[in-house]
Structure formats: structure tokens, C-alpha cells
Structure 1
Amino acid sequence: MPYIGLAKSPYGPLRTQEAVLKELTKRGFRVGFFKHHWAGDLPFGLIVAETDRGDVAIRWALGREFSLKIEEVDRETYDEFVEDTIEYTNADSG
């Protein structure tokens, strides 16, 4: 089953990516491949990872401190989460 999550981060996109991947590892996910979507003028993005426990999509936004919540979902919910976030990011960046 895939997972979706929400992260808050006081960092920029690259450091947020590092923090999310590190936290996934701490929680027992082995990340193989990942990609990161964000627009330079937006305070949020999406990290999508292939892991040994299934696909993971994390939507992040700026916040005061780093936090990450993850939940297991069905494939349809996962796909909608990813598509909606990418669509919103692309619509707001151009």
C-alpha cells in the first residue's frame, strides 16, 4: 500500500528534502528513487519516493519547526494526492 504525508519545515526546498528522506529512513523506509517538485516562488512542494514499503508522497509547506505525519492509503487516494499537488504547484508557478 502507498503512503501520503504532510510535512512542515522551516527550511528551503533542498534542506526540506534531506530532512524528509532522513525521517523516512528513521521510520524504517528504505528509499530507492525519489523526485522533488516545487516552484521557486511557492512555499511548498512535493517529494515522491519509491521505497521498500511502497510509494510515498509527502506534501511539504513552510512551518516553524520540522514535523512529518504519514498515513497508509489506497492507490486511488495516493494518485489523487500526487496529481492534485502537482497540478496546484504548476498552476501557481506560472
Structure 2
Amino acid sequence: MREINIPLPNISDDEQVEIEVSVDDRKRKYYFRLESIPWEANKKNKKNDKSELSSSERIGILKKAIENYDKSWELIQIFAPLEKSLNIHILYRKK
């Protein structure tokens, strides 16, 4: 598959992006969705302060989000989160 790079404006952690692509005269369209998955607050922390989650806790959150996602979309890419980011971005394509 060939790649197209599309610069997107800065989006906040709670926004979703959907992209539709038409190829030449063909009426075939591709749909992409960029999801922003929040790292949940650490439930072990009863003081409700913003302590960081461990890597295994973050992996668990990410795994659950992917497993529970709409099965008509396929996972394309997981982006590395920015340092201190409260969310992680995942790119899906419509099957």
C-alpha cells in the first residue's frame, strides 16, 4: 500500500478526526479515524492526585480500548504519546 501524508492541525486530546479519500476516477473511498484514548486516573490512588500510571497499567488501558473498539475498523498505527500526555492516539481504517 502506498502512503499519503496529510498534515493535521493540532488537535486536543478529546477530539476525533475522520478522513475520507477518493482515488482518481474510481469511486472507491477510504475512511480513517484518529482516536484519542485517555489514560484513566490511577484507581489505586485514593487521594485523587495526578500520579503517573505504570507502563503495565497504560498497556492494559490501551489493550482494552483496542479490544473493545468497533470491529468494522482495523488498527493501523499506535502513535507514541507525547511526554506527560493525558491521551494516546490510535489510527484506524474502515474495513
Larger Cα Rg: Structure 1 or Structure 2?
A: 2
Q: TM over 0.5: same fold?
A: no
Q: Which has the higher contact order (CA 8 A, sep 6+)?
A: 1
TM-score under structure 1 normalisation? 0.35
The structure with the largest helix share of the pair is 1
TM-score under structure 2 normalisation? 0.35
